[in-house]
Amino acid sequence: MSLNHRQLHRLHRIESGLLRSDPQLAAMLAMFGRLSASQQLPAWEQLASRPDRIRQAAALIVTAVTVLATAIAHLLVAIRGLVSAVVMGDRARPATQPAPASPPRDDRQGRNPAQGS
């Protein structure tokens, strides 16, 4: 990890302030730094490199464009349905014709069972 000049200067000021205020703590931190210098950081503590960040940003952009295109397509379908319903008006509904009335049935003896006898 590389730091710019301003960050390095800040760290140096913090270190010199710590050395002046608590030299024993500064000595313990220096020993810890020497002992842990050869060890790698866990993956969850490491920063992503520039190519990784660019790849992640590109994937997010592609996902956002895909979601936006799908939303626009659904919106256009809804608008088309609304316009066709307004333009067609009553013609959009199929005409319903009343069912023909069936004549009363007679049983074998010529009587109408619906009327009773």
Q: Which is nearest to 107 in space by CA: 98, 95, 116?
A: 116
Look at residue 74 in the predicted model and tell me its pLDDT. Answer: 97
Backbone angles phi, psi at 100, to 5 degrees: -65, 140
pTM of the full predicted structure? Answer: 0.39
pLDDT tens, 3-38? 788 989 999 998 888 888 988 988 898 899 888 888
pLDDT tens, 40-97? 878 777 777 788 889 999 999 999 999 999 999 999 999 999 888 888 776 656 666 6
- Asked whether the predicted pLDDT for residue 116 surpasses 70, the reply is no
Cα–Cα distance between 116 and 25 in angstroms, integer? 111
DSSP 8: H
- DSSP string of 22-79, one letter each residue: -HHHHHHHHHHHHHTTTSPPPGGGSPPPHHHHHHHHHHHHHHHHHHHHHHHHHHHHHH
Look at residue 86 in the predicted model and tell me its pLDDT. Answer: 84
